[in-house]
Structure 1
């Protein structure tokens, strides 16, 4: 897929997700990268809302996996509602659902990562398989893989 077409699809996806989940706050990949580099700031909890198989291929550093279909939010009950949380998936749809649920539980600094791991990886930002850097991302399926640069799936 041509870069301009990929960019357009990501913009359309954000419009669709915002329409269905209007209260979800967004964070760009650039903003998250800057935040993670600034260790003087309180670092966010990063939640990966993809399947185990997707997570096993790669994930953002220090990300915790959460099941988007049946999220176990009990583990977050001990977390202050002021702690920042960033949620991502492949393109942002599943993570928006988790972000919305967290907001409904009273968390007030929850962000959906714009473009999610696909955009993050397309920009050449670091991804990991366990603690080792990798360049590969699970493509989710044959349709969505078109949003990934061909060298990373």
Structure 2
């Protein structure tokens, strides 16, 4: 049943992205996609990109940032100070922080990170947030991303279809597009 729901949700989102490509309704597609992800993961706490940016500029203790994307996506760019966690086989034993430490998880659009956020909460972490819109929304708003310690403007598009949610100036070319 869960795989059927996942498949239907992904198919629906893919069809929606096809429509977005035709009409360039990126913000509408993003709103619908975020709504679908919230429905799929109702127990996950969410943090907006604006809230994270404000948090990073405050004197409050900073959250641990976990990037739940594949290695190639992370290597191209990530949020500053983010640690990568494997979205397919997350090893929570690598986390050495207290379960009271705030953690913000992100991926490309929020689906993979919502899965990781759920696992972290189930493991007893008390302050886990999924970054709404994830790195795609973050960069589309002109916020900084980094490759190692150097700021960059390119984000891995995951694939051609999902990459339509990135503004073209931020969308890295896939090897198959070169």
Structure with the bigger percentage of helix: 2
**Alpha-carbon distance, 1:97 to partner:** 0.2
Return the alpha-carbon distance in structure 2 between the equivalents of residues 119 and 18 of structure 1. Answer: 16
Change (3 A) 1:3 1:72: farther
Return the alpha-carbon distance in structure 2 between the equivalents of residues 133 and 3 of structure 1. Answer: 31
For 1:96, the equivalent position in structure 2 comes to 114
Number of equivalences? 151
Return the alpha-carbon distance in structure 2 between the equivalents of residues 91 and 82 of structure 1. Answer: 26
| SS of residue paired to 2:25 | helix
Q: Which runs of 5+ in 2 are unaligned?
A: 1-20, 172-178
| SS of residue paired to 1:108 | coil
Q: What is the TM-score when the length of structure 1 is the normalising length?
A: 0.95
Return the alpha-carbon distance in structure 1 between the equivalents of residues 26 and 45 of structure 2. Answer: 22
Within-5 A mapping of 1:66-81:
66-76=85-95, 78-81=96-99
RMSD: 1.5
Change (3 A) 1:27 1:2: farther
For 2:10, the equivalent position in structure 1 comes to none
Using CA pairs under 8 Å that are at least 6 residues apart, name the structure with larger relative contact order, 1 or 2.
Answer: 1
**Alpha-carbon distance, 1:2 to partner:** 9.3
For 1:23, the equivalent position in structure 2 comes to 43
For 1:117, the equivalent position in structure 2 comes to 135
Rg larger for: 2
| SS of residue paired to 1:111 | strand
**Alpha-carbon distance, 1:10 to partner:** 1.4
Q: What is the TM-score when the length of structure 2 is the normalising length?
A: 0.82
Change (3 A) 1:3 1:115: farther
User: Is residue 66 of structure 2 the alignment partner of residue 47 of structure 1?
Assistant: yes
Return the alpha-carbon distance in structure 1 between the equivalents of residues 22 and 128 of structure 2. Answer: 32
Change (3 A) 1:128 1:3: farther
**Alpha-carbon distance, 1:121 to partner:** 0.3
